[in-house]
Amino acid sequence: MKKIAVIGECMIELNGTPFGTMEQTFGGDTLNTAIYLKRTAKLNTATDKLDVLYITAMGCDPLSKAMIERWQKEGIDTRHVLVDDMRTAGLYMIQVDENGERTFLYWRNQSAARYLLSHPKFTQVKHCLEHVDAIFVSGISLAILSSRDRSRLLTLLEQLRSQGIEVIFDSNYRPALWPHDELASVRACYLTMYQTTNLALVTFEDEQRIWGDQSAQQTLTRLHSLGVKTVIVKQGDKGCLLSTSESTSPFYVPASAVSNVVDTTSAGDSFNGGFLAHYLAGSSLITACEYGNHLAGIVIQHKGAIIPAHITHPTYS
């Protein structure tokens, strides 16, 4: 059975109208990816031999415990979720406009996940990571850490890649998580990360904001020049481009047709989950992209980062 470790943060989610109806659930880019990855893997005999480990830190309060129990019900391996008795999960609120576009408010400064690498039991996590097939991190996984812990994580990922473990990165850039006017710091961090990455799953808008890219082709060229072997550039309703370092030209995979966009909150995360389930099972990159697009198309027609499990049962093979 293949193992993938997903490193990041999950927060309490409030979704609704301020001073009106508000639904409480949970979400976070890497946790969303982990759940959609596991759901996809469980629903397909070609992908079901896949162990998904979630690596984070949570509190010891009832809400943190309830969230972890929900992850376990999804089939996520939570044995390496560290417990922080001084902190709890962060909180975010989503507001969605009439076009399904969303804005976020965050309360996460004392989130336990921000102190993951400083946890006294992180050494046990490092040992676990030496025995997986792949590791997935995002730009948010990096951004929430202190500069010292961020450097430690980048060094660790470089060491693990040198041992043959595949490193997968979604750039997922959130300016509010970085110090004001610190684009140079973001670029330096991402430059190091890309030099450690085997597979990049990036959104063109993020790469454009950080690097000033004028086209998805420019993004592909830049990332390959940094040593990234396989690059997928997500372009929302335009689909995605895929390329490998051996490709003579990129391949375009169109998005699934969607008639009613309700909430785009987890579009990229669900793409990642659907893509990775098929990619890790040995499917072609085109097939993996097609399923990623298909799953994202389902998710954006419903509210919230993580939609009910029965809705994500594929009508696609």
Residues classed as catalytic: 269
Strands 134-138 and 166-170: parallel
Residues 274, 272: Cα–Cα separation, whole Å: 6
Do 202 and 232 meet the contact criterion of CB atoms below 8 Å apart? yes
- Are 102 and 14 a contacting pair, CB within 8 Å? no
In order of 9, 194, 277, the CA distances from 138 in angstroms are 10, 11, 17
Q: Which two tokens stand for residue 10?
A: 């999950």
The one-letter code for the residue type at 75 is G
Q: Which of 150, 216, 135 is nearest to 188 (CA)?
A: 150
Q: Among candidates 78, 105, 103, 82, which has minimal Cα distance to 93?
A: 105
Rounded-to-integer distance, Cα 14 and Cα 94, Å: 6
Structure tokens at 217: 């082709």
DSSP letter, residue 76: -
Q: How does DSSP classify residue 248?
A: S
Contact between 11 and 26 under an 8 Å Cβ cutoff? The reply is: yes
Q: Cβ(232)–Cβ(201) under 8 Å?
A: yes
Compute CA distances 18 → 22, 81, 163, 304, whole Å: 7, 32, 49, 15
Strand order in the sheet with 102-107: 22-27, 11-16, 91-96, 102-107
